[in-house]
């Protein structure tokens, strides 16, 4: 594919752990071209040097809007923080740029606002709680299993710098399990009302937004992104587990989304929608 056909990509959060991986992946992949790197904490640093691939001449800037306009970016990949995410997405859409979002923490009202903004801009917003293909399969298998084994809990384990809890992957898995149980007309056995997830300071969830599936969250050094979905039945258990041992596991999905988002419309959630 010639350079003229490449999708022009900006990376927001370029100096973060995921941002550096995205810089490397975009630089190595066909069909996409890195044109801008944005990060509030690393202004003036060469993005290639920061990512460990050598100088690429694309200097990190803190001004997202100006970077998108100056480079005529078509897509912005965002791996930043929940607190800054909506502001970044508003700017991107106002500039006619399609966001690919790996940052989690968007609320229902945020998604509704993005639908409206995307429609006005005639652009799509692609959001994936998890860009690893193995994680997508894990959710697919869990959804299928829930129709036969309705009693289930989720344990998700992430690095100690992940702010949101439960993870977006765990929430989406739980929601898909809940829908599967409803479609199958089955219900889990009642669980105790005083679950630890309801205790002050506990990291977990159990409410309507999770399909009423208990989720247990762990944040420790040494982990990247991991999830177990444990089903229980009479005399048996079934465990479906996915492990991302390296952030490179997310990159094929990120690159594919960057190539694909221009063909979409509205707000699209989940990597499985574009596979």
Give the Cα separation of 53 and 107 in Å (integer). 36
Quick check: is 159 catalytic? no
Quick check: is 158 catalytic? yes
Residue-by-residue DSSP string for the chain = --GGGSEEEEEETTTSHHHHHHHHHHHHSTTEEEEEEE-TT-TTSBHHHHHTS---S-B-BS-HHHHHHHHT-SEEEE-S-HHHHHHHHHHHHHTT-EEEE------HHHHHHHHHHHHHHT-EEEE-S---HHHHHHHHHHHHHTTT--EEEEEEEE-TT--SSS-HHHHHHHHHHHHHHHHHT--PPP--TT-GGGSTT--EE-SGGGTT--EEEEE-TT-SEEEEEEEEETTEEEEEEEEE-SGGGGHHHHHHHHHHGGG--EEEE-GGGT-
Strand partners, 7: 32
Pick the catalytic residue: 20, 65, 120, 158? Answer: 158
Residue-by-residue DSSP string for 31-65 = TEEEEEEE-TT-TTSBHHHHHTS---S-B-BS-HH
Bridging pattern class, strands 98-101 and 204-205: unpaired
Pick the catalytic residue: 20, 65, 120, 162? Answer: 162
Query: Which residue numbers are catalytic?
Result: 158, 162
């Amino acid at each position: 594919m010639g350079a003229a056909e490449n999708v022009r990509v900006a990376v927001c959060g370029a100096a973060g752990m995921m941002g550096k991986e995205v810089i490397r992946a975009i630089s190595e992949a066909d069909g996409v071209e890195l044109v801008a790197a944005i990060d509030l904490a690393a202004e003036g640093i060469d993005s290639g040097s920061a990512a460990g691939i050598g100088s690429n001449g694309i200097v990190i800037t803190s001004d997202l809007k100006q970077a998108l306009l100056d480079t005529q970016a078509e897509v912005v990949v965002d791996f930043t923080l929940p607190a800054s995410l909506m502001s970044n997405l508003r700017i991107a859409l106002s500039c006619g740029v399609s966001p690919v979002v790996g940052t989690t923490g968007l609320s229902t009202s945020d998604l509704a606002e993005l639908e409206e903004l995307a429609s006005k801009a005639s652009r799509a917003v692609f959001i994936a709680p998890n860009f690893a293909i193995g994680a997508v399969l894990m959710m697919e298998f869990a959804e299928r299993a829930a129709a036969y084994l309705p009693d289930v809990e989720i344990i998700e384990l992430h690095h100690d710098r992940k702010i949101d809890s439960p993870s977006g992957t765990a929430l989406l898995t739980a929601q898909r399990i809940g829908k599967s149980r409803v479609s199958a007309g089955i219900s889990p056995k009642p669980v105790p009302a005083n679950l630890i997830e309801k205790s002050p300071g506990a990291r977990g969830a159990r409410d309507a937004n999770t399909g009423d599936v208990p989720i247990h969250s762990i944040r420790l050094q040494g982990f990247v992104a991991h999830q177990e979905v444990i089903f229980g039945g009479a005399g048996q258990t079934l465990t479906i587990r996915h492990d991302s041992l390296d952030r490179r596991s997310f990159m094929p999905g990120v690159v594919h989304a960057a190539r694909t988002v221009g063909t979409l419309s509205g707000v699209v959630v989940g990597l499985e929608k574009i596979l």
